Amino acid sequence: MQKKWVGLSLALVLALVIAGCSGNSGTNGTSNTGTGNGGDTNNAATNTGNNNATPDTPAGEPVQLKYWTDDRHDQEYIKELVDEFNATNEDNIQVELTVMSENYTQSVDIAFSSNQAPDVLRLKSGNTPDFFKKGYLAPIDAYMTDALNEKFGNLLLDGVNRFGGKVYSLPNTGLTLRLVYNKDLFAKAGIESPPASLQEMVDDAKAITEMGKSKGIYGFALNYKSPKSAFDRSVREILSLSGHQGLGFDLKTGQFDFAPYGQIIEYFKQMYEDGSFLPGAESLDIDPLRAQFAAGKIGMYLSFSTEPGVYTDQFPTDINWGGALAPSLDGEIKGTSEIVSAGTWLGISAQSANPEAAFKFMQYMYGDEILTTYHEKGFGIAIVPSIVEQAGDPDIAGMEGFLVGEHDSLWPVSPTVTPEGPGYADAYFKYMIEGGDVGAIAEDLNTRYNAALASAIEKGEVSVTPMPDFDPANPQGE
């Protein structure tokens, strides 16, 4: 009897240790198979293999799907849609919506490594390539009907929603970037219109601060708790309007060149030195910033077209505010304002046991009525031509300033690389606060980013084709 217990105990120990190890090995195995050097096809094959997992739902029981998103601005509407789908779909599918507040990518990583991944994921142009490389996504080509191909076909872009010839997501909306400003504070400071150049922005921020500082009102703020998040919603837009790619990449040479970036930062530094920033902006997150703007304490900041939705649902406000085209470097528009996060919306997990049910939900979400309403409610700017044709202007305060106009367009995708040492946002934020040699910073960034780019190209992780004839005023070349 005792021997039996000893045997059972050892078996239990071994089984648990092996299970503990094999869980991760399995995950690594999937990724490894999928994303070896240029292994797009392998990846797709692996994903498809996972898709063939037998659904473990007993007959009669509803198919349970998990849908994760990190969008908060549209959460009430999405919840309504999910409830409606759960109540009306005839395939006995029930979707559980989870809205993440922070660290979405990290939560997705943990979910996939522990085999608890959601079935449907919110995909953004920023995270889709990474999710694809990690083998998280299932291709949807097999589910694409003629009608869907006709509706979305012209919008499917390599490196955005298509990888290795397979489609992983469909587009819905893009985000425009604008200067968000408090019209009343501008008027009180005697400023007639939003700034067209960076020098005007510096002067306006100073004037607003001088007018309102005694009441806790300041001219400018950005969410510098994450410098990258702050600059990617501000400098990026100013650069693209001024004729430069917004993330420091030179599309003409196919190399990183941060010299133009440094020129923009000089003006931000001037505003900081003038005391025009909201006190504490150095550690400010985006939601506290919005709360202060809604309270009428900030003259202006730069952000995405999600802001009208935010000020309707998340931080309702009575202040008289609007969105305007961002200023350019010298007041002259030499490029176009980049429409960002365009091309992806929803995708299906490679670990989903019910990919067909997941696509049925996805198909429901991509229906004309929902996409049209999504645009009209102001949650995003529609980029699907058939939706643009039928949708009315968004019925939401402030959205008129964010609508796609003559100065907006999609830009070619720039490569994402991870250099050794501080990234561009941290380096320039440090310069903004402490000063230094801005030329040397650009040179250092160019060296490190181009080294990382060369390494990524060598490993087959990215490919770059210089575009010597690239015209920033007409980025699509049409």
Partner 1 sequence: MSMKWKRLGENVWFLSPSIVLTAALGVYPLIWMLRYMFYDYAGYGEPLFIGLDNFQRLMRDGQFWESVGQTFVYAGGKLVLTLPVSLLLAVFLNGKLRGAGLLRGIYFVPTIISTAVISVVFYTIFNAYNGMVNTVLMKLHLIGQPIDWLGPKYAMLTVILVAVWGAVGNYMLLFLAGLQGIPQDLYESASIDGASASRRLWSITLPMLAPVAQLVIMLAIIASLKGYESIMLITEGGPIGKTEVMYLYLYKLLFPVSTGSPVEQQLGYGSAVGFATAVIVGAITGLYFLLSRKMNKMY
Interface contacts to partner 1, rule CB under 8 A: 2-3, 5-6, 9-10, 12-13, 16-17, 20-21, 24, 31-32, 34-37, 39, 102-103, 105-106, 109, 126-127, 130, 133-135, 216, 224-229, 231-233, 247, 278-280, 282-283, 286, 288, 292, 297, 416, 418, 420-423, 425-426, 429-430, 433-434, 459, 461
Tokens for 163, please give them: 């990888």
Q: How far is the CB of 353 from partner 1 (least distance, A)?
A: 22
CA 145/CA 162 separation, integer angstroms: 16
Q: How far is the CB of 57 from partner 1 (least distance, A)?
A: 30
What are the two backbone dihedrals, phi and then psi, of residue 243, each rounded to the nearest 5 degrees? 100, 10
Q: Which is nearer to partner 1, 18 or 187 (CB)?
A: 18
Q: Which is nearer to partner 1, 295 or 473 (CB)?
A: 295
Q: How far is the CB of 390 from partner 1 (least distance, A)?
A: 32
Q: Which is nearer to partner 1, 379 or 429 (CB)?
A: 429
**For the packed helices 75-88 and 355-365, what is the interaxial angle rounded to 10 degrees?**
120
Q: How far is the CB of 277 from partner 1 (least distance, A)?
A: 10
Q: How far is the CB of 314 from partner 1 (least distance, A)?
A: 16
Q: Which is nearer to partner 1, 109 or 356 (CB)?
A: 109
Q: Which is nearer to partner 1, 1 or 87 (CB)?
A: 1
Q: Which is nearer to partner 1, 142 or 454 (CB)?
A: 454
Q: Which is nearer to partner 1, 396 or 457 (CB)?
A: 457
| Three-state SS letters, the chain | CHHHHHHHHHHHHHHHHHHHHHHHHHHHHHHHHHCCCCCHHHHHHHHHHHHCCCCCCCCCCCEEEEEEECCCCCHHHHHHHHHHHHHHCCCCEEEEEEECCCCHHHHHHHHHHCCCCCCEEECCCCCHHHHHHCCCEECCHHHCCHHHHHHHHHHCCECCCEECCEECCECCEEECEEEEEEHHHHHHCCCCCCCCEHHHHHHHHHHHHHHHHHHCCEEECCCCCCHHHHHHCCHHHHHHHCCCCCCCEECCCCEECCHHHHHHHHHHHHHHHHCCECCCHHHCCHHHHHHHHHCCCEEEEEEECCHHHHHHHHCCCCCCEEEECCCECCCCCCCCEECECCCCCEEEECCCCCHHHHHHHHHHHCCHHHHHHHHHCCCCEECCHHHHHHCCCCCCCCHHHHCCCCCEECCCCCCCCCCCCCCHHHHHHHHHHHCCCHHHHHHHHHHHHHHHHHHHHHCCCCCCCCCCCCCCCCCCCC
Q: How far is the CB of 407 from partner 1 (least distance, A)?
A: 23
Sign of CA dihedral 476, 328, 237, 249: positive
Q: How far is the CB of 398 from partner 1 (least distance, A)?
A: 22
Q: Which is nearer to partner 1, 18 or 53 (CB)?
A: 18
Which residue from 124, 57, 40 is spatially nearest to 356, judged by alpha carbons? 57
**For the packed helices 424-434 and 259-274, what is the interaxial angle rounded to 10 degrees?**
40
Q: Which is nearer to partner 1, 284 or 325 (CB)?
A: 284
Q: How far is the CB of 121 from partner 1 (least distance, A)?
A: 14
Q: How far is the CB of 266 from partner 1 (least distance, A)?
A: 17
Q: Which is nearer to partner 1, 11 or 142 (CB)?
A: 11
12 close to 4: Cβ distance less than 8 angstroms: no
Q: How far is the CB of 261 from partner 1 (least distance, A)?
A: 14
Q: How far is the CB of 129 from partner 1 (least distance, A)?
A: 8
Q: How far is the CB of 372 from partner 1 (least distance, A)?
A: 29
Q: Which is nearer to partner 1, 232 or 250 (CB)?
A: 232
Q: Which is nearer to partner 1, 5 or 147 (CB)?
A: 5
